[in-house]
Amino acid sequence: MSSFRRSTSTVAALLMLAATCFAQEPKPATEEDPYASLPPQRAALERMISERGTPEAFDAAVKKAREQGVGEQPILEARFLYHVDRGEDDLIAAMLPEFLKRKEEFKIEQSEIFAIKEDWLAVVEYVQAIAALKKEDRDGFKKHITEAFWLSPRQASAFAPHIDRLRLDEAMRSIKIDGSAKLSSLLADKPVELGSLMKDKKATLLHFWSPWSRECEASMPDFKVTATELEKNGVAVVSLLAEFTADAAKDAKEVVSGLGAKPPGAWLQDREKDSFMRKLRVQDLPTMVLVSPDGSVIFNGHPSDDGLWKSLSKLAPDLKRPSIEGH
């Protein structure tokens, strides 16, 4: 969902920038162009590495860098950073032949990113791991990601999310949501049977949240827009309060009341015994879990994950991703 995009450090920053510090000259600051006073080749290199705009903008920066004599190794490094920063795993996997070709030709003195050769070799293994993941080759992924850890353990925080994702996806294959479960409602006195909300729907989106989460509270107006659009297209929306206490329910009701007289979807409180949050391995809030009519898990992850909307578009082709003002 465009409304939930994160502004935190990206995998690219964890994977490369923090590990190697770029080893660049100080950048003279000007309002129009921070690289204006650098030599032309260096300026083109800096602009290419820092470009995070559209693919067209990045391609233009690469073209300019080539025209100024920047070598292919820094260009490959810059392309890798660009795709990782944008979470484009498919394009990272597509770069594998180039990484393998340059594996033995790599020259540390030509690198703009890597401090030591092991960091470079770890990234080659990382790209191989992503390519294996795209082929659903679990053993290949495990082999290459383990080697990446061994070569560059300080980059572990960048490798870990893919491992977590693989394990979560595997765990979700055996999960079925119990439609007969009855949960307390934040807006009504009587418990609500989950199956009654799922009935005759294309899918059900479970929205795990908390009034004590700043991200949940900040994203609530955007969630209202998104939930309304989903309901119009036959997708049920069920917001599940993650905490089990009366104090949490009280605070949650205040948040929900701010969404208007008829907030979209159902607003329920998860149960303490055999909670859905534990069953679905929810560790961060907010989390979205998309469930098929038979209770199978289709997607489990953060609302900003493009995988959520890819899954939704398959279920409801007419569904349009809402454009949130200011995002």
> 209 and 284, same structural domain?
yes
Taking CB atoms within 8 Å and a gap of at least 24, the contacts of 131-134 are: 131/93, 131/96, 133/89, 133/93, 133/162, 133/166, 134/89, 134/90, 134/93
**Per-residue buried b or exposed e for 86-119, using 16+ beta carbons within 10 Å of the residue's own CB:** bbebebbbebbeebeebeeebeeeebbbbbeeeb
The domain boundary residue, chosen from 170, 202, 221: 170
> 133 and 84, same structural domain?
yes
Q: Name which of 31, 18, 27 is nearest 45 in CA terms.
A: 27
> 144 and 37, same structural domain?
yes
User: Considering its fold, how many domains does the chain have in total?
Assistant: 2
Domain containing 311 equals: 182-315
pLDDT for the residue 306: 80
> 238 and 160, same structural domain?
no
Pairing of strands 266-269, 235-241: parallel
Residue 38 is encoded by which pair of tokens? 């650098």
Structural domain includes residue 54 = yes
> 288 and 206, same structural domain?
yes
**pLDDT confidence band for 24 (50 / 70 / 90):** very low
pLDDT for the residue 165: 81
Structural domain includes residue 32 = yes
CATH number for the domain spanning 211: value is 3.40.30.10
Summarize pLDDT for 72-119 with one digit per residue, the tens.
999 999 999 999 888 788 899 999 999 999 988 899 998 888 889 999
The domain boundary residue, chosen from 135, 170, 205: 170
The domain boundary residue, chosen from 138, 170, 202: 170
* pTM of the predicted structure, to 2 decimals: 0.69
**pLDDT confidence band for 324 (50 / 70 / 90):** low
Summarize pLDDT for 48-84 with one digit per residue, the tens.
999 999 999 999 999 999 999 999 999 999 999 999 8
Helix, strand, or coil here: 245?
A: coil
pLDDT for the residue 21: 36
